[in-house]
Amino acid sequence: MGTLGRAFYSVGFWIRETGQALDRLGCRLQGKNSFREQLSRHRTLMNVFDKAPIVDKEAFVAPSASIIGNVQIGRGSSVWYGCVLRGDVNSVTVGSGTNIQDNSLVHVAKSNLSGKVPPTIIGDNVTIGHSAVLHGCTVEDEAFIGMGATVLDGVVVEKHALVAAGALVRQNTRIPSGEIWGGNPAKFLRKLKSTEIDFIPKSAENYSNLAKAHAAENAKPLNAIEFEKVLRKRHAGKDEEYDSMLGIVRETPPELKLANNIEPGK
Amino acid sequence: MATSIARFSRKTLTPTLIRRFSTSSAALATNPDPPKPKLTPSPSPNRANWDYRGQRQIIPLGQWLPKVAVDAYVAPNVVLAGQVTVWDGSSVWNGAVLRGDLNKITLGFCSNVQERCVVHAAWASPTGLPAETLIDRYVTVGAYSLLRSCTIEPECIIGQHSILMEGSLVETRSILEAGSVLPPGRRIPSGELWGGNPARFIRTLTNEETLEIPKLAVAINHLSGDHFSEFLPYSTVYLEVEKFKKSLGIHV
């Protein structure tokens, strides 16, 4: 069987070589319109000369996020897909347990009309919603910035404050503790109920757990990914209800099990 | 392979490349620390500054695997995670993030989610109905929108930079203007034009405008076909990787 295996291997090799030669021929035919794929040059953590990001080892940073320059990210925080945290002209500090959701932008100002140049400071257990834009502002612990909000220079969002979705908070506004501000330009809407105030750190914790699942998945090497693909295909047809009706207990393979604490209801 | 990498790393590679090749604890370390006061973060020496694989497009979580139809165009910088289904003829454009980790996301036939959108599904909806995000057929979701646990019925247009919060329902054949924000639970009745922050009724749509809506979705479908044909079914990056590894002396 050794020679047969070897024969298959060399035939496979010839076919691949032929394929690559055909690929080169096709590129020649396409001429200057052909596209040669390169390795991805996206740098998740990028330093600008001597300003390098410091990211805690238990923080989740999505590979498609960009953390550039003088950025500090604390323990248990998560920076989700497509975010850009640009600390090139000033510093960005993100506390622990904070989540910066997908496609958000956190930047700092170098110069300001009023002259003060505040760094961006984001406290602990803050939730920053999808596609938020934070520019030179201070967000204190356990605040909540709704999705699509734009928070401009010099804004201070105090503890337990909530910026509604789509709000535009103009420069140097101070959002007092326990209030909801929203609209364009942001105005006081109403006070937060105590249930809502309790919900904020809980949502931050839920997001931390979710971040762990995503972190584990994004860090997998190729072998693990391919292995799980096969496992998933084999496991796809199995239905738990049908099995329980038959009295069979089928175990999901441990690689396919998600941690229990991801869904907040469980 | 790990030992040969380690040997080479001590000889020739710079520290950044060491980090690059140790893909294991790239994002997470599991040693429990005693509770410490607010200190500076302690970075892991194994964190990869740069991963030659880039960001994976399809991220399965546990048993959930995002499903993309064969003729759907999903741009390479899109991230589909968790329970996401992209049906036939639909397209997801550059930079969008469809995160179905807490609940399901469905993108119907011939719909499109344009650039830089974020589609997420919350765990629970304030309306009490299932909190999955359902984008039905022939829907155009404009660029930079945020959709969270909303239901969009067939043949709608969602304007650019709009924000649809949990539980909102956009009924069939309605149009949302650009920049509109739907508060949680808002229902947009059928055949009307709404807009603003928060969204308010502007006017009803004429019959001609209603007929244009699926035409726009089909036009974007044709455009996505052009983009789709730019990509080979399998990328040729593996040649670059093999060249790179050979230049570093790592066994391919």
Q: B146 and A210: CB-CB below 8 Å?
A: no
* pLDDT score, position A2: 80
Of B40, B56, B102, nearest to A263 by CB-CB distance is B102
Q: Which of residues 176-235 of B touch A (CB under 8 A)?
A: 181, 183, 197, 230, 235
Q: Which residue has the tokens 């996401």?
A: B84
Of A20, A63, A217, nearest to B60 by CB-CB distance is A217
DSSP structural state of residue A106: E
* pLDDT of A265 above 60: no
* pLDDT score, position B157: 94
pLDDT in tens, A231-258: 888 877 776 677 777 777 777 777 777 6
Chain A residues with CB-CB distance to B85 below 8 A: none
pLDDT in tens, A99-119: 999 999 998 877 666 666 778
Chain B residues with CB-CB distance to A60 below 8 A: 27-28
Probe site for chain B from A23, A33, A218, A257 (most B CB atoms < 10 A): A218
* pLDDT score, position A112: 65
pLDDT tier, B219 (very low <50, low <70, confident <90, very high otherwise) = very high
pLDDT in tens, B160-212: 999 999 889 999 999 999 989 998 888 999 999 999 888 899 999 999 999 99
Calculate how close chain B gets to A172, using CA atoms only, in Å: 22
Taking CA atoms, what residue in B is nearest to A232? B63
Measured distance CA(B10)–CA(B18) in Å, rounded: 9
Helix (H, G, I), strand (E, B) or coil at A116: coil
ipTM over 0.90: no
Burial class of A9 by CB neighbour count within 10 A (0 to 12, 13 to 18, 19+): exposed
Q: How many Cβ atoms from other residues are within 10 Å of residue A256's Cβ?
A: 17
pLDDT in tens, B75-110: 988 999 989 999 999 999 999 999 988 888 999 999
Chain B residues with CB-CB distance to A95 below 8 A: 38
Chain A residues with CB-CB distance to B144 below 8 A: 131
pLDDT in tens, A43-85: 888 888 788 888 888 889 998 999 998 899 988 899 999 999 9
Taking CA atoms, what residue in A is nearest to B80? A81
Q: Which of residues 28-87 of B touch A (CB under 8 A)?
A: 28-29, 38, 40-44, 46-56, 59-63, 65, 77, 79, 81
Chain A residues with CB-CB distance to B236 below 8 A: 23, 36-37
Of A61, A72, A219, nearest to B40 by CB-CB distance is A72
Query: Between β-strands A187-191 and A179-182, what pairing exists: parallel, antiparallel or unpaired?
Result: antiparallel
Q: Which of residues 100-139 of B touch A (CB under 8 A)?
A: 101-102, 116, 118, 120, 123-124
Q: A44 and B50: CB-CB below 8 Å?
A: yes
Mean pLDDT of chain B: 81
* pLDDT score, position B19: 45
pLDDT in tens, A189-212: 888 888 888 888 888 888 888 888
Measured distance CA(B154)–CA(A39) in Å, rounded: 39
Q: A183 and B197: CB-CB below 8 Å?
A: yes
The amino acid at residue B238 is: Y
Chain B residues with CB-CB distance to A59 below 8 A: 27, 41
* pLDDT score, position B78: 93
Measured distance CA(A225)–CA(A228) in Å, rounded: 5
Q: B55 and A81: CB-CB below 8 Å?
A: yes
* pLDDT score, position B222: 93
* pLDDT score, position A260: 64
pLDDT tier, A127 (very low <50, low <70, confident <90, very high otherwise) = very high
* pLDDT score, position A34: 76
Q: B163 and A232: CB-CB below 8 Å?
A: no
Mean pLDDT of chain A: 85
What percentage of chain A reaches a pLDDT higher than 90? 24
3-state secondary structure chain B: CHHHHHHHHHHCCCHHHHHHHCCCCCCCCCCCCCCCCCCCCCECCCCCCECCCCCCCEECECCECCEECCCCEECCCCEEEEEEEECCCCEECCCCEEEEEEEEEEECCCCEECCCCEEECCCCCCCCCCCCEEECCCCEECCCCEEECCEECCCCEECCCCEECCCCEECCCCEECCCCEECCCCEECCCEEEECCCCEEEEECCHHHHHHHHHHHHHHHHHHHHHHCCCCCCCCHHHHHHHHHHHCCCCC
Structure tokens at A106: 């956190």
User: Which candidate, A124, A90, A83, A123, places its Cα nearest to that of A106?
Assistant: A83
* pLDDT score, position B38: 53
